[in-house]
A and B are shown apart, each in its own frame.
Chain A
């Protein structure tokens, strides 16, 4: 039965080959992007984590700065997924946690001992920073992060379209809703504020004369004015004048550039792309007054560097942050103005950043200074999430604003109790 034994032999060899391939596959999987290698310098290996910036050249820039550092080899993880926070928070609990990462100031990271105290590297140049950027990173007198860029967010529009439709720049939410209606045509929607409307939650609160939390870290957003604003938003949401379900989110300039809408809520970072598309036919305005007693507002977002206090190379990571984000002013200016436009948090750099000195960028800086609200370190991710739920529950879904705010209060109070006792 030579055929049979032959059969047996080949079956075995196939099994062996398959096992070998499986083993090889496992090994190959280990060799992928494992967060090691890639850096150029000598000394310890540092891993840094960034969210994917939309502007061309940003990833190369961050890697270029890292390559220029000699005292450590710095490897960059560039996270392209939409939920950078989740990815960051989950990775921080593992062995592959980055040594340094960019994020926003949030107190739970300080309370849980996740981020290192950077006072010793920031204090010598403290006076050169925008004071608001120091305050928003300070807990009990210690500074926990180094601001890299400030990103004011406001509306972009095309004055020519406004003129054609007979619309003036809106100063109240009612005027904005009216403008959106007038600007809506068969093919163009009047207004775009992002598909899920989460980006305008804070401006809506501030423009109603309220705030997220007050100075004593108590709820300050649950006011009759905010309720009124939410009702207006529901009206806008159901009017058919709002662009919804667009392929790109609010932070991406595509919706206005492709002519899907006439006004888009976006950020300073996208200004170069808008300018390239529309030239001088471009204007900006802050979030209008939610109610007549309110004040226009601009969210001064941005990104900061933090050092993972539970990492293996805390000192080396601090050294790198000091080198790049404190000492290397050339790189800091490059980062703030060469790709998208951002406002440098360092006064000395802001003073020399010629690109932001005239025209529309200068107007953006003016809105930033005049109407800007910075991050509150006590307003953490879980609270932010709860405030997004308000938008979902009573603007996208036809829920009662009071009830939605009550639910939000429950979550926020639970967080506040855990953080401040």
Chain B
């Protein structure tokens, strides 16, 4: 290819420094190498992402009960059904509530953990590992522990034992939706599981803040503590914070395991993915309505992504810090 020769002309190799033979033929072709590296991922993307999306769109216009190869075209009926289904519409509300809970709390908790661990003089590695370890635990396993032993409704559940010391009656944490104690269970489980990971991101960012900034601030008379944190640490963490918030939003959107495992046969506390699972893959096996719901969700995600690009400007490239 011509590009190769151009490159050689523009920046000739330092005179015979490398004894390695120049690669020729197929292995030397940039195009070939591009496809060699990109093709596996592209093929994966097409087979596992684009084909299913296309198939979903196709299914959403059919009466697809107990089959994924339907033949009865019903137009937009699935869409009107999903958009008037109180459970599906409610699930969007559930997701909003969940994100409103979990994103700020995880952000605050992981940042505080990072600040604490970062200031440790000794045993830092130990605490870092201890807080990070829950990340390795599966959501299903954690859900079961939370459900069976921490927040079980019987008198020997840990939470009920503790409130029992203060003379408070047993609470069926996951059974009754008012008061909505199930949010406490879901949020604490997820906090425990994911805070450690974001803590590591924050520690890395904290260690990147130049010490000189703090020294300069000290000379200018800034007090250690809140003042330096507010005016130096937080602004310096802006890029990491934005990334963490976005990652947390995505993770919240993908939430499935703990909702599925903690809540049995409810009509509440179901984010969109759980609701669609019950519609399409659960006992209803309505792939048409399920696909229509998935397409609606996809459209919503595209709108939100475009809006946040406009408002936050994230991903425009001028966010180097």
Contacts and interface: CB of A to CB of B under 8 A. Distances in A.
Decide whether A and B assemble into one complex: yes
A198 B265 contact: yes
Interface string B57-74: 000000101111000000
Contacts of B283: 83, 85-86, 89, 381-382, 384-385
Interface in B260-288: 264-268, 278, 281-286
Interface range for A: 35 or more
Contact of B268 (A196, A243, A397): A397
B152 interface: yes
B173 A245 contact: yes
B284 A245 contact: no
B74 to A, nearest CB: 11
B154 A247 contact: yes
B260 to A, nearest CB: 9
Interface stretch (B47-55, B175-183, B193-201, B202-210): B175-183
Contacts of B268: 392, 397
A246 B152 contact: yes
A393 B282 CA distance: 20
Chain A contact surface mostly: helix
A89 B175 contact: no
Given A108-B66, A240-B169, A385-B283, A392 B265 contact: yes
Contact of A90 (B154, B176, B281, B286): B281
Interface in A16-57: none
B172 A245 contact: yes
Nearest to A245: B153
A396 B281 contact: no
Nearest to B153: A245
A163 interface: no
A396 B177 contact: yes
Contacts of B265: 196, 198, 388, 391-392
Interface string A220-244: 0000000000000000010010011
A407 interface: yes
Interface residues of B, number: 33
Residue among B169, B281, B282 with the most chain A CB within 10 A? B282
A97 to B, nearest CB: 12
A396 B269 CA distance: 13
B113 interface: no
Contacts of B111: none
B174 interface: yes
A392 B175 contact: no
Interface in A87-123: 89-90, 92-93, 108-109, 112, 114
B317 interface: no
Residue among A112, A245, A389 with the most chain B CB within 10 A? A245
B86 A396 contact: no
Contacts, number: 90
Nearest to A396: B176
Contacts of A393: 267
A260 interface: yes
Interface string A60-71: 000000000000
Contact of A237 (B63, B66, B86, B176): B176
A245 B154 contact: yes
B134 interface: no
Contacts of B222: none
Contacts of A109: 66
A109 B283 CA distance: 12
A393 to B, nearest CB: 5
Contacts of A93: 66-68
A177 to B, nearest CB: 17
A216 interface: no
Nearest to A419: B65
Given A112-B67, A392-B266, A244 B282 contact: no
Given A196-B175, A381-B284, A382-B284, A246 B66 contact: no
A247 B169 CA distance: 18
B39 interface: no
A135 interface: no
A418 interface: yes
A195 interface: yes
A348 interface: no
Contact of B175 (A240, A244, A384): A244
Contacts of A247: 148, 152, 154
Contacts of A89: 66, 282-283, 285
B128 interface: no
Contacts of B173: 245
B182 to A, nearest CB: 11
A397 B67 contact: no
B96 to A, nearest CB: 19
A105 to B, nearest CB: 15
A411 B306 CA distance: 36
B188 to A, nearest CB: 16
A198 B155 CA distance: 23
Residue among B176, B177, B268, B284 with the most chain A CB within 10 A? B284
Given A89-B283, A392-B266, A243 B67 contact: no
B267 A392 contact: yes
A244 B175 CA distance: 7
Interface in A380-409: 381-382, 384-385, 388-389, 391-393, 396-398, 407
A187 interface: yes
Closest 6 CB pairs of A and B: A245-B153, A244-B172, A245-B172, A196-B265, A381-B283, A244-B175
Given A112-B67, A187-B155, A397-B268, 15 more contacts: A85-B283, A93-B66, A196-B264, A237-B176, A243-B153, A245-B151, A246-B152, A247-B154, A260-B154, A382-B283, A385-B278, A396-B175, A397-B176, A398-B178, A407-B86
